[in-house]
Amino acid sequence: MLRCSALSEVQAEEAAVARTRARTTKAPKAMRRAAARPRAPVRSAPTPYFTHFDAAGQAQMVDVAGKDVTRRVARAGGRIVMQAPTLALIAAGAAKKGDVLGVARVAAIQAAKQASLLIPLAHPLPLTRIAVEFTTDGQANAIAIEVTAETLSRTGVEMEALTAAAIGLLTIYDMCKAVDRGMRIEGVRLLEKTGGKSGHYIAA
């Protein structure tokens, strides 16, 4: 009886070991089958980069030859803050140098046409329209400028609008600095652009 009992215990242990081996040999096969299944490619977001540098990090003018000629429009703006008496002189047209805003408007238009000479990697564009508007804010003692630039071209006209806005405000400063050297130019930025593959942009 003891021999039978001992034998049955040995057989039970051998059976348990056999079951364990079977499980451990089956697991790798299942893993291999799972690894062999085709998986969908993982798409990562494109890495942002500055287009005005080539692969070697050298400055370049972006090649736009493959783009379509489309109507492109950009609006840019900013403002100049000053003392209340300075604003009153400008509004009355009584500044010693004459019509400040009239001169600043011409300066802004001229600057838009010269943007490619001032911004090293900007393309020279055939501008079809430049419009400059000034708005007086009596509460903030400020004058805001808004420039709209348009072209039929292969690249955007943002730099022309931004250059015009900045130079228009600088011209106001230049003409009024004898009265108010503490004037402050601020908020020069792109307000809106349309045309091209990047689509429609409106500033928040």
Catalytic pick from 54, 68, 137, 174?
174
Which CATH architecture best describes the domain 70-198?
2-Layer Sandwich (3.30)
Residue-wise pLDDT for 109-127, tens only, equals 999 999 999 999 898 999 9
Which tokens hold the place of 153?
A: 């071209």
Residue-wise pLDDT for 149-192, tens only, equals 999 998 889 999 999 999 999 999 999 999 999 999 999 999 99
**Domain ranges within the chain, ordered by starting residue:** 70-198
Rounded-to-integer distance, Cα 29 and Cα 20, Å: 15
Confidence at 204, pLDDT banded by 50, 70, 90: confident
Token pair 């003018």 in the structure block, residue: 61
How much is the pLDDT for 2?
43
Active site (annotated) includes residue 174: yes
